[in-house]
Chains A and B, each alone.
Chain A
Amino acid sequence: MTIWNKKFECISPGELEQLQLERLQSTLNRVSRNVVFYQKIFEREGIIPERIRELSDLRRIPFTSRRTLRAAYPYDMFAVPLREVVRLQTSSGTTQEPIVVGYTRNDVEHWTELVARVLTGAGINRDDVIQISFDYGLFPGALGMHYGAEAVGASVIPASTAGSRRQITVMRDFRSTVLIAAPGYGLRLARMIREMKINPQDLFLRVGLFGAETWSENLRRELEERLRIKAYDFYGLSELFNPGVASECEAQNGLHIFEDHFIPEIIDPGTGRPLDFGEEGELVLTSITKEAFPLIRYRTGDITTLIKGKCSCGRTLVRMARVKGRTDDMFSVLGVSVFPSQVEEILTRIEGTEPHFQIRIDREADREVVKLLVEISPEIFSDEMKKMQKLKREIKGEIYKLLDLEVEVKLVEPGALIGRGEGVRRVIDNRNRG
Chain B
Amino acid sequence: MDSEVLLTIRNLDAYYGQAQALRNVSLHVNSGEIVTLIGANGAGKTTLLNSIAGVLNSISGKIFFEEEDIAGLPSEKVVARGLSLVPEGRQVFSPLTVLDNLFLGAYLRHGRKSKEKIEEDLQKIWGIFPVLKERMNGYAGTLSGGEQQMLAVSRALMARPRLLLLDEPSMGLAPLMVKEIFRHIAELPRQGTTVLLVEQNARAAFEVAGRGYVLETGRIVLQGSITELLDNKEIKRAYLGKGYREVWE
For the complex, give the distance between the alpha carbons of A18 and B220 in Å: 14
Give chain B nearest CB distance to A291 CB in angstroms.
7
Q: Is B123 close to A, CB under 8 A?
A: no
What mask results when residues 1 to 19 of chain B are scored 1 for a CB within 8 Å of chain A, else 0?
1110100101101000000
Q: Is A26 close to B, CB under 8 A?
A: yes
What mask results when residues 17 to 53 of chain A are scored 1 for a CB within 8 Å of chain B, else 0?
0110111011001100100000000000000011111
- Interface segment, one of A102-110, A116-124, A147-155, A164-172: A102-110
Residues of B within 8 A of A104 (CB): 231-233
For the complex, give the distance between the alpha carbons of A11 and B30 in Å: 14
Residues of B within 8 A of A22 (CB): 26-28, 220, 223
Size of the B side of the interface (Cβ < 8 Å), in residues, is 25
Chain A residue nearest to B8 (CB atoms) is: A18
Instruction: Please tell me if the beta carbons of A80 and B234 are within 8 angstroms of each other in the complex.
Output: yes
For the complex, give the distance between the alpha carbons of A347 and B24 in Å: 54
Q: Is B219 close to A, CB under 8 A?
A: yes
Q: Given that A30-B222, A49-B24, A84-B233 are contacting pairs, would A106 and B228 also be in contact in the complex, using a CB cutoff of 8 Å? A: yes
Q: Is B127 close to A, CB under 8 A?
A: no
For the complex, give the distance between the alpha carbons of A14 and B232 in Å: 28
Select one of B24, B224, B233 contacting A105, CB under 8 A. B233
Q: Given that A21-B10, A106-B224, A109-B228 are contacting pairs, would A50 and B26 also be in contact in the complex, using a CB cutoff of 8 Å? A: no
Residues of A within 8 A of B5 (CB): 14-15, 18
Residues of A within 8 A of B8 (CB): 18
Residues of A within 8 A of B23 (CB): 50
Residues of B within 8 A of A291 (CB): 232
Chain B residue nearest to A33 (CB atoms) is: B221
Instruction: Please tell me if the beta carbons of A53 and B231 are within 8 angstroms of each other in the complex.
Output: no
Instruction: Please tell me if the beta carbons of A18 and B234 are within 8 angstroms of each other in the complex.
Output: no
Q: A residues engaging B (CB < 8 A)?
A: 7, 10-12, 14-15, 18-19, 21-23, 25-26, 29-30, 33, 49-53, 80, 83-84, 104-106, 109, 289, 291
Other contacts beyond A18-B10, A49-B24: 15, CB < 8 A: A11-B1, A12-B1, A22-B220, A25-B24, A25-B26, A26-B219, A26-B220, A26-B221, A26-B223, A29-B220, A30-B221, A53-B24, A84-B232, A106-B228, A106-B232
